[in-house]
Structure 1
Amino acid sequence: MKKLNPEASPQEWFGNELRRMRKAEGLSAAALGRLVQVSDDMILAIEKGRYPSLRRDVAQRLDAFFDTGGLFDRAWPMAFGKRDADKKRPDADIRVPEGAERDVQKREGRILDGGQPFNRTGSPEPVDRRSFLQAGSLAALAPLSLAPVFTAELPLPHSISSKEISQVLTAATSISNMDNALGGGGMVRGMAARAMEWSAGLLQLQCPEHLRADLFASVSRLGMVVGASAFDAYHHDEATRTFHFAAECAEEAGNWHLRAKSYSFLARQAVWVDAPDDGLTYAEKGLVRSDRLTATEQAMLHSARARAFGKLGNVRETMAAVGDADSAFSRACPSEDPPWMAYYDEAQHNGDTAHALWDLAVLVGQDPGRAARRFDAAVKGHTDSFKRSRAISRTKLAALVMAKGDPRQAAAIGHDALDEVGKLTSRRAADDLRQLGHFAAKHPGIREASDLRERIAATVAV
């Protein structure tokens, strides 16, 4: 381990303080990275004084996590400000193979009159066979008739018919149901990968012209739910490639609604992996020709903008984007929405906008009540079909109350969240629990907070 000289440079002083605080908390670099939503490579590079372009919002999140009173934020201009960090985003959190993502980003797609023939995605990793579908809740969520698709035992046909398009759409619905109820890891992700491999293969076959748009649209829809599953399991490179693939297919199909949803997923993932500027770009791409989108879709994309601005700590822009999202959602007419937008109901809207307001409350000291009220509405509104969303909203509400309100009330909320998260295979939900545990640790004299922290430690690995 490199021994730092805090007097050598502002960056080495910054890194030395970070390492000291991390070790005092007993955290590994990977654990700290998960809690502040950056990679372990980034944490170690900062600590070694070898990370020249740290974003200021990362420094602010470190302040919030360690409760430094703004130490890292005040040090940021000296250590990193002169290097104009915001002009260049490090790629430590999304490691895309050379050329893979760049090629996709250069293409505009058929809708925007710049399309080129797409390339089939790489083969996903192997999974176990149809025995997956015989067990527990999977049998209720995934029809046994689709077992050959989920286990890659179904050969590709000689040509495309409406039957294959129907199979792809049914697979997308089944995976979405499993992902929402169980999380995107484990068996769900394996089945999703196999279904994606089979469906992508369909695009290489002869297809009657009158079915071509429907085929591309069905594969785009599947790509979105498979990408969401990979995102939830923290396979970010795979998720990014699959979301881009879904957007390409939407472009080929001429489907503005699928295109908007694909860019919404890309925006949310970018915000999660600490690339909020990219998140804003994706959200704005999704809003191109917003007159062709439903009010619900516009609300979805404006809430993605709000989350990006919130992660950046931009109060005015965040509040304006939340207002735009609320305004659009007030005009929502579910009968006008495509089927896959049924999830974006009032509970989802409250949860999405609450995440943006949570960042403002924790990072820059804004009123926590705005986020708390929306999280509470989300928790009460989500049904059992959306257990993961309900668990995440409940956990974030508990963390907010633990950080800014009554720790005993927060502990009660946190125990309810644990009852649900412990049954999921969602790494996002687990990381939110770790964050809640960190805030609980700031109240060592309160038994309820200590008990919650112990239960979190027993449920998820720190």
Structure 2
Amino acid sequence: MPQPMKQLDPGASPQEWFGNELRNLRLEHGLSAKALGRLVQVSDDMILSIEKGKYPSCRRDVAQRLDDVLRTGGLFDRAWPMAFGNRDADRKRADADKTSTGSGERSAQVPAGRILGRDEPTLRPGSHEPVIRRSFLQLGGLAAIAPLDLTEIFAPAELTLPANVNPGHVDQVLAAATAISGMDNELGGGGMVRDVASRAMQWSAGLLQAQVPEHLRAELFASVSRLGIVVGASAFDAYHHDDATQTFRFAADCAEEADDWHLRAKTYSFLARQAVWIGAPDDGLTYAEKGLVRADRLSATEQAMLHTARARAFGKMGNVRDTMAAVGAADEAFARARPAEEAPWMAYYDEAQHNGDTAHALFDLAILAGQDPGRAARRFGTAVKGHTDAYKRSRAISRTKLASLIMAKGDPRQAAALGHEALDEVGRLTSRRAADDLRQLGRFASKHQTVQEALGLRERIAATVSA
């Protein structure tokens, strides 16, 4: 049963008056928050936050686009200075005061027991992540941290932030994203990689509170978005799913602030993949569709990436027709790819990656819907051959899935040989996803009680994943 909408109090503040008017006009036009967000080119979360008076720094161009879509005659543009202009001015004055009273560097610490003015969140059962670190990533996006004092964001260990952002800081964020992405692909998202990623994310998000020259603003938000995608992917691989989801959403907000459709698409691709992985394929399909909004602004490779996410969602549902259609759309888009024109961080999506990703969707059809396993097997084989040592995790996962497919639908002895090759590689990773794929292979192997090679593989898998 749907939850009733929160009652708004337009007299409580200019922001809540603005939000109340927005909700009333949205409902008059029969639009959902998602539909309005798509028309205005922002997230539905942002629309709902503005309506509730919880989004403290709505950009003026967003207000103007709301006027255009809702045909208000300029209502929101005229109301913007009252609702948000003073806050921007107050924040700039506060930043200037901080700059004048201190040197060029400042240290950020957390008051005991509180983060961002909220009670410490309760850990889920079985979680060992320190509350103080998790809290930053549970805040629900840019709106939750952007207007608040940095001294409330960071863990007790001191982190030094500049008072003014310069191009070198943007370069540092991008360098951190590149380095962490490399470690994550080679080693997996757990262990040291996880700790490095969390620290880098905290520091980089903190830059959003410093004084930023207007000409650097979009670059800074884009760089933080890029890092957020990398850190979210690392958390996803380590099964810190709540952290991953919040970091991806934060990255999406930053991408929208930077007006970067490419980073936005990448963020929604990851949200889709994660949702499918954790058993919510319908949510995954929604994320993939959101990423494909204004597909004309995306590169062919980015379109292929998002169609692949749709295919994986349909595959997990056992929907043969739509899975095959999505795989076809992904193949068609990838055939138009121009790698030389892609952003550097899309270089990973090559022939090996495309074949491995689409093979996952076809794997589910073979297992869940009795479809031809050969289609998935051929693509997994291409992925295994094409992935270099820089993408050991992807190669290991594709090899494991190929072994599982053959173990379930083909020769268990051939599958066992492939499984041992996968174990040789997976055993050196800190990837929870890779470990879960091994467990699945072990379950398929356990069905061949009379095949010694399959039983031996199962025993080795049990010893590896429990180590």
Contact 1:150 1:191 in 2 (8 A): no
Q: Distance in 2 between matches of 1:411 and 1:151?
A: 49
Q: Distance in 2 between matches of 1:325 and 1:245?
A: 27
Counterpart of 2:360 in structure 1 is 355
Counterpart of 2:270 in structure 1 is 265
Counterpart of 2:217 in structure 1 is 212
Amino acid in structure 2 at the alignment position of 1:159: N
Counterpart of 2:280 in structure 1 is 275
Shift of 1:150: 13
RMSD between superposed Cα atoms in Å: 2.9
Q: Distance in 1 between matches of 2:300 and 2:357?
A: 16
TM-score, normalised on structure 1?
0.70
Aligned with residue 190 of structure 1, among 192, 195, 199: 195
| Alpha-carbon distance change, 251 to 417 in structure 1, aligned in 2, over 3 angstroms | same
| Alpha-carbon distance change, 121 to 159 in structure 1, aligned in 2, over 3 angstroms | farther
Shift of 1:336: 1.4
Q: Distance in 1 between matches of 2:440 and 2:46?
A: 34
Q: Distance in 2 between matches of 1:330 and 1:152?
A: 49
Q: Distance in 2 between matches of 1:440 and 1:160?
A: 55
% of aligned pairs identical? 73
Shift of 1:107: 5.8
* C-alpha distance after superposition, 1:207-255 (max 9, x if no partner): 0000000000000000000000000000000000000000000000000
Shift of 1:434: 0.4
Shift of 1:153: 5.7
- Which 4+ residue blocks in structure 1 deviate beyond 4 angstroms? 101-105, 107-117, 119-127, 149-154
Matched residue of 1:430: which SS?
A: helix
Counterpart of 2:393 in structure 1 is 388
Counterpart of 1:448 in structure 2 is 453
| Alpha-carbon distance change, 151 to 384 in structure 1, aligned in 2, over 3 angstroms | farther
Counterpart of 2:261 in structure 1 is 256
| Alpha-carbon distance change, 267 to 106 in structure 1, aligned in 2, over 3 angstroms | farther
Counterpart of 1:285 in structure 2 is 290
Q: Distance in 1 between matches of 2:223 and 2:116?
A: 15
Matches for 1:44-443 after TM superposition, within 5 Å = 103=45, 106=48, 113=65, 125=130, 154-443=159-448
In structure 1, list runs of 5 or more residues that go unmatched: 1-100, 128-148
Matched residue of 2:347: which SS?
A: helix
Q: Distance in 2 between matches of 1:376 and 1:282?
A: 28
Contact 1:121 1:200 in 2 (8 A): no
| Alpha-carbon distance change, 430 to 216 in structure 1, aligned in 2, over 3 angstroms | same
Q: Distance in 1 between matches of 2:162 and 2:45?
A: 30
* C-alpha distance after superposition, 1:150-180 (max 9, x if no partner): 9976510011100110000000000000000
Amino acid in structure 1 at the alignment position of 2:391: F
| Alpha-carbon distance change, 318 to 401 in structure 1, aligned in 2, over 3 angstroms | same
Amino acid in structure 1 at the alignment position of 2:421: D
Matched residue of 1:288: which SS?
A: coil
* C-alpha distance after superposition, 1:339-363 (max 9, x if no partner): 1100000000000000000000000
Q: Distance in 1 between matches of 2:49 and 2:175?
A: 29
Shift of 1:121: 12
| Alpha-carbon distance change, 417 to 107 in structure 1, aligned in 2, over 3 angstroms | farther
**Structure with larger RCO (C-alpha < 8 A, sep 6+):** 1
TM-score, normalised on structure 2?
0.69
Q: Distance in 2 between matches of 1:169 and 1:160?
A: 14
Shift of 1:106: 3.6
Matched residue of 1:184: which SS?
A: coil
| Alpha-carbon distance change, 436 to 203 in structure 1, aligned in 2, over 3 angstroms | same
Amino acid in structure 2 at the alignment position of 1:180: N
* C-alpha distance after superposition, 1:42-79 (max 9, x if no partner): xxxxxxxxxxxxxxxxxxxxxxxxxxxxxxxxxxxxxx
| Alpha-carbon distance change, 152 to 283 in structure 1, aligned in 2, over 3 angstroms | farther
| Alpha-carbon distance change, 156 to 259 in structure 1, aligned in 2, over 3 angstroms | same
* C-alpha distance after superposition, 1:247-283 (max 9, x if no partner): 0000000000000000000000010111111111110
Contact 1:181 1:386 in 2 (8 A): yes
| Alpha-carbon distance change, 157 to 409 in structure 1, aligned in 2, over 3 angstroms | same
| Alpha-carbon distance change, 378 to 150 in structure 1, aligned in 2, over 3 angstroms | farther
| Alpha-carbon distance change, 330 to 404 in structure 1, aligned in 2, over 3 angstroms | same
Q: Distance in 2 between matches of 1:276 and 1:330?
A: 26
| Alpha-carbon distance change, 203 to 312 in structure 1, aligned in 2, over 3 angstroms | same
